[in-house]
Amino acid sequence: DHVFIRDEAGHGDPRPEPRPTQSVQSQALHYRNRERFATIKSASLVTRQIHEHEQENELREQMSGYKRMRRQHQKQLIALENKLKAEMDEHRLKLQKEVETHANNSSIELEKLAK
């Protein structure tokens, strides 16, 4: 009167479990099959399924909106990084020219002072 029951992953349960009575089995089967194979669905079941479907659609739309916002934000970050790199290069060139100018001026003044 004991049977090994497999779980959904397919692994055997090493502990034997008592087999349920016939009436409990038939009730469980009836309950499981009622929603799957019923030809006429109750209004509450239909409205619940519609509501679940709408919730899934809302979540899917939210996720796609979130992903779109992330992509847009990534593009904006890359554009800003490129802009700032260009500004940094521009400032670097300006400072290099300024240093060269000061170096030339100071060398000219040193030559004047040496004379």
φ/ψ region of 108 (left if φ > 0, alpha if ψ in -120 to 50, else beta) reads alpha
User: What does each of the 115 residues of the chain score in pLDDT, given as a tens digit?
Assistant: 454 445 444 455 555 555 556 676 777 666 666 666 556 878 888 899 999 999 999 999 999 999 999 999 999 999 999 999 999 999 999 999 999 999 999 999 999 999 9
| Burial per residue of 18-43, b for 16 or more beta-carbon CB atoms within 10 angstroms, e otherwise | eeeeeeeeeeeeeeeeeeeeeeeeee
Is the pTM of the predicted complex or chain greater than 0.75?
no
What values do phi and psi take at 31, rounded to 5?
Answer: -65, -45
